[in-house]
Amino acid sequence: MNLILLSPNDLLTDNRACIKNPRQLAHIKQVHGATVGDQLKVGLINGNLGIGLVTELNDTAIYLDVDLHQAPPRALPLTLVLGLPRPKMMRRILQTVATLGVKQLHLINSYRVEKSYWQTPFLEAENIREQLILGLEQGCDTHLPEVHLHKRFKPFVEDELPAIVADTRALVAHPYTETACPCQIEYSLTLAVGPEGGFIPYEIDLLEKCNFEAVQVGERIMRVETAVPYLLGRLF
Report the interface residues with a second copy, using CB under 8 A: 2, 73, 96, 99-101, 138-141, 183-184, 217-223, 226-227, 229-234
Nearest CB to a second copy, comparing residues 53 and 140? 140
Nearest CB to a second copy, comparing residues 154 and 223? 223
**What value does the CA radius of gyration of the chain take, rounded to a whole number of Å?**
20
Nearest CB to a second copy, comparing residues 75 and 166? 75
Check: CB of residue 137 under 8 Å from CB of residue 41: no
User: Could you tell me the smallest distance in angstroms from the CB atom of residue 113 to a second copy?
Assistant: 16
User: Could you tell me the smallest distance in angstroms from the CB atom of residue 96 to a second copy?
Assistant: 5
User: Could you tell me the smallest distance in angstroms from the CB atom of residue 223 to a second copy?
Assistant: 6
Nearest CB to a second copy, comparing residues 10 and 141? 141
User: Could you tell me the smallest distance in angstroms from the CB atom of residue 126 to a second copy?
Assistant: 23
User: What Å distances lie between residue 25 and 34, 41, 45, 59, 195, CA to CA?
Assistant: 10, 14, 17, 9, 36
3-state secondary structure 175-233: CCCCCECCCCCCCCEEEEECCCCCCCHHHHHHHHHCCEEEEECCCCCCCHHHHHHHHHH
> What b/e readout covers 103-141, taking b as 16+ CB neighbours within 10 angstroms?
bbbbbbbbeebeeebeeeebbeeeebbbbbbbbbbbbbb
Nearest CB to a second copy, comparing residues 157 and 181? 181
Nearest CB to a second copy, comparing residues 85 and 101? 101
User: Could you tell me the smallest distance in angstroms from the CB atom of residue 74 to a second copy?
Assistant: 8
User: Could you tell me the smallest distance in angstroms from the CB atom of residue 48 to a second copy?
Assistant: 14
Pick from 15, 24, 112: nearest CA to 64: 15
